[in-house]
Amino acid sequence: MKKRPVVNLKPREGRRARAGAPWIFSNEIAMEAATKALPPGTVVDVKGDDGQDFGSGFFNSKSLIGLRLFARETGAAADEKFFAKHLARALALRERFYDRPFYRLVHAEGDGLPGLVIDRFGDVLVLQITIAGMEELLPVLIAALNKLLSPQTIILRNDTPSRPLEGLEAYVRVEKGAAGRIAVEENGARYFADLGQGQKTGWYYDQRDNRAFMAGLANGRTVLDAYSYTGGFGILAAKAGAKEVICLDSSEPALKLAEDSAAANQISIRAVKADVFEEMTRLAVQKERFDLVIADPPPFVKSRKDLEPGAKAYRKLARLAADITAPGGLLLLASCSHNIPLERFGAECTAGILRSNRRASLIRSAGTGPDHPVHPMLPETAYLKALVYALD
Ligand code: SAH
C-alpha cells in the first residue's frame, strides 16, 4: 500500500487544533515543495513540529483552511465504514428531535463530516460538498447513504460560492432519481420546495424553531413576512390563526410555491412581489402597521470586507421594519451572515429601531435548531442570528 503523506505544522503552530478544533489554517502549515504539490483533497497524517500527532485530515494547499481533520488518530481511513459511522450517529441525533424525516441530516464539522451538508426531505437527499477532500470521496459517501437510507433521489447541489476557493468547479447534478417539486413537512405544516436542476432553490431548515416561535404569537394578528422565500414563516403564522399574512419577496417562483403551499394548508396569504426596502417604505408612508413583522434577508455581509456596508444595511432594515410594526407589536430580525458577529448585528438592530423612534426590548435571541449542530471548538460557524424585539 502507498504510504500516506505526512503534513507538518510550523514550530509552535496548531494551537486551536491542539485544543480540539478540526481546522488548521494554511499559515500554520510547513509548506514544503512536496507538501504543496499534493493534489487538493489528499488524505494526510498531520504532525506537529515536535512530532506530536494531530490526526488524519484532508489537505488542500489552495484553501485558506489548509487542513480539515476528520479523525484524532493518524492513519484513520476515510472509507465507507467511516461514513457509515458518522451518518448513523447524525441520523440517531435527528431522530431524537423529529418524528418526521425532514431535517438537515448532516451539518459538516458539527457532525464530524467536514465540508458536507445534507438536507433530507423524506426520500430525497440534497447534498452540498464544499471541500476537495469530500468531493474525492463522493462515490464512497453515496454508497454509505444508499445502504443507510436507500433514498429515491439524491441531488448534488454543488454550486456554493465557496467552491472556487477550494479549486472546485460549481455544478448541480441529479445523482439518483429525478429532481423537481417536493413536499416539506415542518412544524405540522406542509410546504413545497423546488429542487429543479440548475435552480438554486431548496428549503431553509435553519429557521424551523423561530418559525414556530413567531407562529405561536400570531393568532388573530396581522403578519408581514418579509424576504418570505417560499413562505416558511408566513404559512405557519396563517395556519396558527393569523388574521392576515403578507409574504413579501422579489422572487416570483418562490412566491408561487408559497401560494401553493397556502392552498395545501387550506389557509390564505397575500403574496407580494417587490423589493423589501421599497415596499416597507411605501407601507410606512401609507401608515400600514403589522402586529408581527419578520425580516429574514439574504446575507448582507457576504465576506469580511462587506462588514461595514452590510452592517449599515441591517440597520436600515431594522429602521424600516420598526416603522411598520404596530404599537405593542413584535419584530424578528435575522441574519444568516457568518461574517457579522451577534454583538454587532444586535447593535445595528437596536440602532435601527431607535432611529425609528421606538422603544424596544429584546425578548429572544436564537439561532438554528438542533439539526444544525455546531462543533464546540468552531463557535464562529454558528451563523444564524434571529432576534425578536417587543416594540412599545
Ligand atoms: N425567510 C425565508 C428565507 C429567506 S431567504 C424562509 O423562512 O424560508 C432570502 C429571500 O430574500 C429569498 O427568497 C430572495 O428571493 C429574497 N430577496 C433577496 N433580495 C430581496 C429584495 N431586495 N427584496 C425582496 N426579496 C429579496
**Does residue 346 line the site of ligand 1, with CB under 6 A?**
no
Q: Is 109 helix (H, G, I), strand (E, B) or coil?
A: helix
**Does residue 296 line the site of ligand 1, with CB under 6 A?**
yes
The pLDDT of 48-76, averaged and rounded, is: 96
Active-site positions? 336
Query: Which residues neighbour 46 within 8 Å (Cβ) at sequence distance 6 or greater?
Result: 6, 7, 8, 9, 17, 24, 53, 54, 55, 56, 57, 67, 69, 74
For residue 199, is pLDDT > 60?
no
For residue 43, is pLDDT > 80?
yes
User: Residue 157 Cα, ligand 1 centroid: separation in angstroms?
Assistant: 19
pLDDT in tens, 268-307: 999 999 999 999 999 999 999 999 999 999 999 999 999 9
Asked if residues 106 and 130 have their Cβ atoms less than 8 Å apart, the reply is no
Dihedral-angle region of residue 84 (phi above 0 means left; psi in -120 to 50 means alpha; beta otherwise): alpha
Q: Which atom of ligand 1 is nearest to the CA of 275?
A: 23
**Does residue 261 line the site of ligand 1, with CB under 6 A?**
no
- At 247, list the grid cell: 409574504
User: Residue 95 Cα, ligand 1 centroid: separation in angstroms?
Assistant: 30
pTM: predicted TM-score of the whole model, two decimal places: 0.96
What mean pLDDT value characterizes the chain? 96
**Does residue 233 line the site of ligand 1, with CB under 6 A?**
yes
- At 354, list the grid cell: 431607535
**Does residue 279 line the site of ligand 1, with CB under 6 A?**
no
User: Residue 201 Cα, ligand 1 centroid: separation in angstroms?
Assistant: 11
What is residue 316's predicted lDDT score, i.e. its pLDDT?
98
Nearest CA to ligand 1 atom 3: 229
Lowest-confidence pick of 41-50, 101-110, 162-171, 209-218: 162-171
The pLDDT of 371-379, averaged and rounded, is: 96
Specify the DSSP element, H or E, that contains 96.
helix 80-97
**Does residue 206 line the site of ligand 1, with CB under 6 A?**
no
User: 209-226: b or e for each residue (b if 16 or more CB lie within 10 Å)?
Assistant: bbbbbbbebbeebbbbbb
User: Residue 118 Cα, ligand 1 centroid: separation in angstroms?
Assistant: 22
User: Residue 275 Cα, ligand 1 centroid: separation in angstroms?
Assistant: 9
**Does residue 275 line the site of ligand 1, with CB under 6 A?**
yes
| Domain regions of the chain by residue span | 6-71, 80-179, 182-391
What is residue 161's predicted lDDT score, i.e. its pLDDT?
85
Pocket test for ligand 1, best of 249, 277, 336, 368 (most atoms within 8 A of CB): 249
HEC states along 131-150? CHHHHHCHHHHHHHHHHHHC
CATH of domain 182-391: 3.40.50.150
Confidence of residue 343 (pLDDT cuts 50, 70, 90): very high
Nearest CA to ligand 1 atom 13: 229
**Does residue 187 line the site of ligand 1, with CB under 6 A?**
no
Nearest CA to ligand 1 atom 11: 227
Q: Which residues pair with 59 in a beta bridge?
A: 42, 67
User: Residue 295 Cα, ligand 1 centroid: separation in angstroms?
Assistant: 9
**Does residue 251 line the site of ligand 1, with CB under 6 A?**
yes
Nearest CA to ligand 1 atom 18: 298
* CATH architecture group of domain 6-71: Roll (2.30)
User: Residue 50 Cα, ligand 1 centroid: separation in angstroms?
Assistant: 50
For residue 1, is pLDDT > 80?
no
Does CATH place domain 80-179 in 3.30.750.80?
yes
pLDDT in tens, 304-340: 999 999 999 999 999 999 999 999 999 999 999 999 9
